[in-house]
Amino acid sequence: MRNLFFLTFTVLMTLQVTVGFAQNRDELEAQRKQIQQEIEDLRSSQNNVKKSKKESLDQLARIKNLIRKRDAIIETINRQVKLIDNDIFTNNREIYRLTKELDTLKAQYAKTIEYAYKNRSSYDMLNFIFSAVSFNDAIKRITYLKSYRDYREKQVGNILKTHKLLEQKNQTLAQNKELKAKTLEDQSEQMRKLENEKKQKNTVLEDLKKKENELEKQLTAKRKSENSIKNSIAAIIKREIIAAEKAEKAKRDAAAKAAATAGKTTATPASAATKTRASSKLENTPEVTKVSLGFENNRRKLPWPVNKGEITGQFGRRKIEGTSLYEDNIGIYIQTEIGAPVKAVYEGSVSAVHNLAGATAITIRHGKYLTTYYNLSSASVNKGDEVQLGQTIGKAAESEDEDGVGKILFVVNVVVGENPKYLDPEDWIKPR
């Protein structure tokens, strides 16, 4: 009975471990396939870039993203190998234990066979029964003989079950060894590709360094575009604040007129009005305040402005690798497909739709927060429109490098006092 219980427990634990391993393996395989698809997309973009003779920062960003993805897929493969090694270790341990258990069961069964052989005479069995001192004693002896026979049958069953389980473990072990060999082969292939991509990166860096003067001109042109966006956002905030102040004044005047008509005198202290922060004036209704709070509470949860995209320019000031130059971005540059739908990352109202430096820019106000989408080829909304989360507002235009891929600049800022404070959009959108 003890052996039967132990065998059942072993089978259940083996099934649980096998299911857990399969789940982890499937999750890692799905993750690897996703990263592989992202690599293929980046490779496709990189091939388009090669058609362009113009060296650019986007080329460097793409190859760096490709290397980062390649590192990620190698890390995933390393985890897969570790998982397979753990399973191989567990299988070997189970095979050793089952082999010992099978030997024990066989030895115990051999003893019962030997005992049965020595007492095989029917006379001995009958003598054992009829030598009982009472009828009840005889019944007990018959029951014992029957139980002994059943025990031998259970021993055979346990031996067969253990033998079958041992065969399954050996088969699983062989499959895992084969899987490990294939995974290690894939790992070597990925490492080879990584080395080639690092060489490509060094080539791009050398080319950029040789053309540092040309690169500086590109940066100057980009700063000019970003300054236009900055001025536009500052003008939008100023206009919105003035409009809010006018609305607030009209409301106070109406209240004062109504009070005067009723024969009452009321006045709003000027000091209280002047102490009101300009950013608070933008939230002049409970509905707008709700939008601000909603945007604020969705940090790192907002959707991307494009369905498929890769960041090729990060927020803030960064040194350009291999050169003495710096870039200082007010938002993030996202590479996507030309004509890809650009979507609002949150509900709000369109504050401006205008042309800046030859491309369309759309600014949407979410209470005291603003998002700007630049380098659109067209706009599907107008100033004053209310937009919903995920609503298409335009289409992505081609990169200024004319390299066959689309690119947009995505900007997030919050109004502090009367000025915009620029925020890192990667702190707001969902990580990928």
What is the predicted pLDDT for the residue at 15?
47
Contact 191, 71 (CB under 8 A): no
Range among 217-231, 246-260, 275-289, 361-375 with highest mean pLDDT value? 361-375
What is the predicted pLDDT for the residue at 216?
84
Contacts of 384 (CB under 8 A, 6+ apart): 349, 350
Query: Using 50, 70 and 90 to split pLDDT, how confident is the model at 164?
Result: confident
Range among 74-78, 99-103, 144-148, 281-285 with highest mean pLDDT value? 74-78
| Residue 229 tokens, joined | 């966006």
Mean pLDDT of 293-307: 94
- For the purposes of burial, counting CB atoms within 10 Å of the CB of 391, is it exposed (0-12), middle (13-18) or buried (19 or more)? middle
Residues 348-387 pLDDT 10s: 999 999 888 789 999 999 999 999 999 999 999 999 999 9
Least confident of 151-160, 176-185, 240-249, 294-303: 151-160
Higher pLDDT among residues 267 and 64, named by residue: 64
Residue 61: count of CB within 10 angstroms of its CB: 18
With a pLDDT cut of 90, the percent of the chain lying above it is 26
Q: Dihedral through CA 146, CA 148, CA 150, CA 153, nearest 10? A: -140
- Rounded to the nearest angstrom, the gap between the alpha carbon of residue 35 and the centroid of all alpha carbons in its chain is 10
What is the predicted pLDDT for the residue at 272?
44
What is the predicted pLDDT for the residue at 34?
77
What is the predicted pLDDT for the residue at 168?
84
Query: Using 50, 70 and 90 to split pLDDT, how confident is the model at 277?
Result: low
Residue closest to 347 by CA, chosen among 401, 403, 288, 424: 288
Residues 24-49 pLDDT 10s: 878 888 877 877 777 777 676 666 55
What is the predicted pLDDT for the residue at 297?
94
Query: Using 50, 70 and 90 to split pLDDT, how confident is the model at 424?
Result: very high
| Residue 294 tokens, joined | 């909603």
- Alpha-carbon span 9 to 432, nearest angstrom: 42
Cα angle for residues 101, 105, 110 (degrees, 5° grid): 145
Mean pLDDT of 244-251: 79
What is the predicted pLDDT for the residue at 271?
44
Least confident of 35-39, 79-83, 241-245, 419-423: 35-39
The mean predicted confidence, pLDDT, of the chain is 80
208 pLDDT higher than 50: yes
200 pLDDT higher than 90: no
What is the predicted pLDDT for the residue at 19?
46
- Alpha-carbon span 33 to 45, nearest angstrom: 19
Contacts of 216 (CB under 8 A, 6+ apart): 325
What is the phi/psi pair of residue 12, to 5°? -65, -45
Residue type, 74: I
What is the predicted pLDDT for the residue at 123?
47
Range among 143-147, 215-219, 274-278 with highest mean pLDDT value? 215-219
Mean pLDDT of 240-249: 81
What is the predicted pLDDT for the residue at 3?
52
Range among 8-17, 142-151, 270-279 with highest mean pLDDT value? 142-151
What is the predicted pLDDT for the residue at 278?
60
Least confident of 93-97, 146-150, 269-273: 269-273
Mean pLDDT of 224-229: 89
Q: How many residues are there in the chain?
A: 432
- Alpha-carbon span 428 to 315, nearest angstrom: 12
422 pLDDT higher than 90: yes
Domain spans of the chain, in order of start: 2-210, 213-427
Mean pLDDT of 203-225: 82
Query: Using 50, 70 and 90 to split pLDDT, how confident is the model at 137?
Result: low
Q: With a threshold of 0.75, does the pTM exceed it?
A: no
Domain covering 213-427 assigned CATH 2.70.70.10 in the classification: yes
